[in-house]
Amino acid sequence: MDRIDKILAQWNRERPDLNTGPMGLIGRIRNLAHHLSREMDRTFAQFGLNGATFDVLATLRRSGAPYALSPSDLMATMMVASGTMTNRIDQLEKAGLVARSTNPEDGRSFLVSLTEKGFALIDSAVAAHVETQARLVSGLSEEEKAALNALLGKYLAGLEASMLGKSAPV
């Protein structure tokens, strides 16, 4: 019995008329997200990063050579507002991890690219991040990981589709 079970038992005692099943699922997902984020943040901190700065560097790194994207491409990938993105880019530029350059395809805009220092840092950080993630799911068998991944993928796709007013894919 985990602490969510205790909370559900209390609600079932006090309000037996309520279906608390969804409360249990969402409570566990929220607790998992909290624990996972905290552990990944520890890994990022070892490299002087946080989740936001890691995301920018990782997005640039996985984009492939020349490891450069426009701020609007970064915003679309990361789903953040322009002011938020500008702040992140400014921080990373001050740290020497990214550089701004004129976009050769449109002189009115610029590209954000990884510097050599940024490339080396994100390569090390992402390797440590993958190790952290492997440790965090090591309590599950390969079959359990596959089943959980499939269920969460189905749940997320359905939830996102319903939030967009579309029917969920089958």
Whole-number pLDDT of residue 50: 95
Instruction: Give 80's pLDDT tier (boundaries 50, 70, 90).
Output: confident
167 pLDDT band, cuts 50/70/90, is: low
Q: What is the pLDDT of residue 82?
A: 83
Q: Residue for token digits 């079959």?
A: 143
Question: How much is the pLDDT for 109?
Answer: 82
**Helices 71-78, 51-62: inter-axial angle, 10-degree rounding:** 110
Residue 5 and residue 25 in contact, taking contact as beta carbons nearer than 8 Å: no
Instruction: For 4-47, write each residue's pLDDT tens digit.
Output: 999 999 999 999 999 999 999 999 999 999 999 999 999 999 99
Residue 106's beta-bridge partner residues?
103
Rounded CA separation 113/107 (Å)? 16
Identify the pLDDT of residue 2: 86
Task: Please calculate the CA angle 124-126-129 and round it to the nearest 5 degrees.
Answer: 115
Length of the chain: 170
pLDDT score at 8? 94
Distance from the first to the final alpha carbon of the chain: 34
Residue 168 has pLDDT above 90, yes or no: no
Cα 58 from Cα 136, distance rounded (Å): 20
Token pair for residue 26?
């969402």
The tokens describing 138, both together, are 């090591």
Residue-level pLDDT at 166:
63
SS3 sequence of 99-113: EEEEECCEEEEEEEE
pTM equals 0.84
Mean pLDDT of the region 57-61: 96
CA atoms in the 13 A half-sphere facing the CB of 32? 10
Q: What are 11's two structure tokens?
A: 């609600």
With pLDDT > 90 as the criterion, what percentage of the chain qualifies?
77
- Rounded to an integer, the average pLDDT of 145-154 is 96
Question: pLDDT grade, residue 107 (50/70/90)?
Answer: confident
**Is residue 65's pLDDT more than 60?**
yes
Query: pLDDT tens digit string along 109-118?
Result: 889 999 999 9
Q: Are the CB atoms for 57 and 125 separated by under 8 Å?
A: yes
